[in-house]
Amino acid sequence: MVSNKPDIDPPMGLDDPDFPEQDYTELYLLLEKHDEDARRLANAEIGGIKSWVEMREHIKNVVTIQLGAISKFLERHFYEGDQARKDLYKTRIHQYSNLAASGGWVIGREWGERDLGLREKLRNRKTVNIQSLPDDAVRLLHLTLFEIYSIFYFPHKFYYESPYGRRTRKQREPHMRDTYQSMMKGVLICFLSGIKSSDSDN
């Protein structure tokens, strides 16, 4: 498990019908822009790609373990015997963990190119305080986690509202917050790898 989690809160009100739809346009443009660099560095096994793979697996494991802890509830009241739905969740966990890790890396890569002062400041750092990063970068970092956090959030929302979760209901908010922070810690490690990846070009 990744330690030293950032002191941040998860998005609130995901189940509110008026919750704003997320716009991924900018993030997808960055993924496309830096795809060739990411593939080149991955083939050479440089540019922080090892950290990216490890954090992708970390984020995926966070969700998989958490859902596994309430598997009896999920089987009876969420999947309801629908194997296709269960398989879809498994596929999405992999897909959205990849989006979170890839997104963190390309955002770091982009800001490493945009802001040489930030790159110099962070090039030898192993951790980063998210509050110290540019607002636009932070907004995108949160966006990278939206889908994978939703995969965790909704089953647990229903769990805590059910008789299964009655005894632990008071732990709901701390649980949601701790899980989101653990995911974001992984994204920030990918961000740092992206920031430092420009050095691999020199």
CA distance 62 to 108: 22
Q: Is the confidence at residue 28, as pLDDT, over 80?
A: yes
Domain annotation covers residue 110: yes
Domain annotation covers residue 8: no
Domain annotation covers residue 12: no
pLDDT, one tens digit per residue, over 181-193 is 999 999 999 999 9
Domain annotation covers residue 13: no
Q: Give the pLDDT band (50/70/90) at residue 3.
A: very low
Domain annotation covers residue 14: no
pLDDT reported for residue 7: 83
- CB 52, CB 116: distance < 8 Å: no
Domain annotation covers residue 191: yes
Verdict on whether the full-model pTM lies above 0.75: yes
pLDDT, one tens digit per residue, over 85-138 is 999 999 999 999 999 999 999 999 999 999 999 999 998 888 899 999 999 999
In 3D space, the residue among 74, 67, 66, 68 whose CA is nearest the CA of residue 162 turns out to be: 74
Domain annotation covers residue 11: no
183 lies in which domain range?
A: 25-201
